[in-house]
């Protein structure tokens, strides 16, 4: 089976589930979503999330990372976190990135406020949804400060892979994985794959400045930006699906495994849904605005809103 036609629009992003077991999440229904998404939400009062955290994008990229190396996939973030309003405003005005040194205090203030009853329930916009059963496998929102940038961990990664239909025989061997990412000096395609995998797994324990739960990464010059911002490694990875990845798979001897991954999991479903989500929030900051369940915020001592929800910044 050829995989090129299946993969031409895929993203290589990540993020995953919450504290409850993944099996329990898979059994949940959409009972908390349907009524509010149609009648109680304000499209103008939103919480900003990195597009990498959207369910179909996260899940397809989890499949790709776990397929490549389960230990790497285990460093995907276990929770999603809304961007601080000040960071979001800066990224909307500067899609190429904002200095982390200037944004750091807003991340710290948000973490300090987490768990103080200010969190509001949010819902992914329609452009970034998947089926209720699968959506329940995607990351839940943080409720405690320690959950921010918490890695998924191998146990939950193994559970999620099983729920998505992945079997052990599809996973690359260590030799196949090393062939995929190469060793320095890597060629351009391998460098893109390697850099993107690092950007998507920058959770605690895997990097000095974790940003994974926000769907952000830090550039070499110290800026923070969305994982699908213009010229980001993970955005450039899309181009590999037009042929180069298939070529690598053949050269490294895992073309059949890649074909089985596509055929045995919801891969194609995530392709279409993920492409729609990305296109809806580009070419600007590549941050999705999730409607909030209610309007209102609390002001901190600085006069800035500590609430994660705020007015939409997009036309």
Q: Where are the domains of the chain?
A: 4-311
End-to-end CA distance of the chain: 43
Contact 249, 179 (CB under 8 A): no
Contact 14, 203 (CB under 8 A): no
The Cα–Cα gap between 64 and 266 comes to 12
Residues 140-161 pLDDT 10s:
999 999 999 999 999 999 999 9
**Is pTM, for the whole model, over 0.95?**
no
The Cα–Cα gap between 213 and 203 comes to 8
Collapsing DSSP to helix, strand or coil, 39 comes out as helix
From the number of C-beta atoms within 10 Å of its C-beta (0-12, 13-18, 19+), residue 101 rates as exposed
Q: Examine the pLDDT at 41 and tell me if it is beyond 70.
A: no
pLDDT for the residue 118 = 55
Percentage, residues of the chain above pLDDT 70? 80
What is the DSSP track for 93-141? H-TT-EEHHHHHHHHHHHHHHTTSS----B---GGG---HHHHTTSPEE
The Cα–Cα gap between 141 and 120 comes to 10
Mean pLDDT of the chain: 84
- The answer to whether the bond into 185 is cis (omega within 30° of 0) is yes
């Amino acid at each position: 089976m050829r995989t090129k036609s299946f993969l031409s629009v895929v993203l290589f992003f990540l993020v995953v589930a919450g504290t409850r077991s993944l099996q329990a999440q898979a059994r949940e229904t959409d009972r908390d979503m349907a009524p509010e998404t149609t009648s109680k939400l304000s499209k103008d009062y939103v919480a900003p999330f990195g597009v990498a955290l959207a369910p179909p994008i996260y899940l397809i990229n989890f499949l790709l990372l776990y397929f490549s190396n389960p230990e790497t996939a285990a460093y995907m973030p276990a929770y999603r976190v809304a961007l601080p309003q000040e960071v979001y405003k800066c990224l909307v005005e500067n899609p190429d990135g904002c200095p982390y040194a200037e944004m750091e205090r807003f991340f710290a203030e948000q973490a300090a406020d987490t768990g103080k009853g200010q969190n509001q329930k949010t819902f992914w916009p329609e452009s970034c949804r998947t089926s209720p059963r699968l959506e329940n496998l995607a990351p839940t929102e943080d409720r405690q400060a320690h959950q921010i940038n918490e890695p998924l961990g191998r146990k939950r990664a193994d559970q999620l892979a099983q729920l998505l239909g992945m079997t052990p025989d599809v996973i690359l061997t260590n030799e196949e994985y090393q062939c995929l990412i190469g060793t320095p000096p890597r060629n351009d395609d391998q460098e893109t794959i390697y850099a993107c995998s690092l950007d998507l797994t920058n959770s605690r324990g895997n990097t000095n400045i974790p940003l994974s739960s926000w769907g952000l990464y830090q550039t070499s010059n110290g800026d923070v930006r969305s994982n699908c911002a213009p010229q980001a490694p993970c955005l450039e990875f899309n181009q590999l699906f037009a042929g180069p990845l298939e070529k690598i798979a053949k050269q490294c001897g895992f073309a059949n495994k890649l074909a089985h991954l596509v055929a045995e999991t919801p891969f194609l479903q995530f392709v279409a849904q993920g492409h729609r989500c990305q296109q809806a929030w580009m070419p600007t900051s590549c941050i999705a605005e999730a409607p909030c369940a209610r309007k209102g915020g609390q002001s901190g001592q600085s006069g800035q809103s500590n609430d994660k929800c705020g007015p939409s910044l997009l036309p």
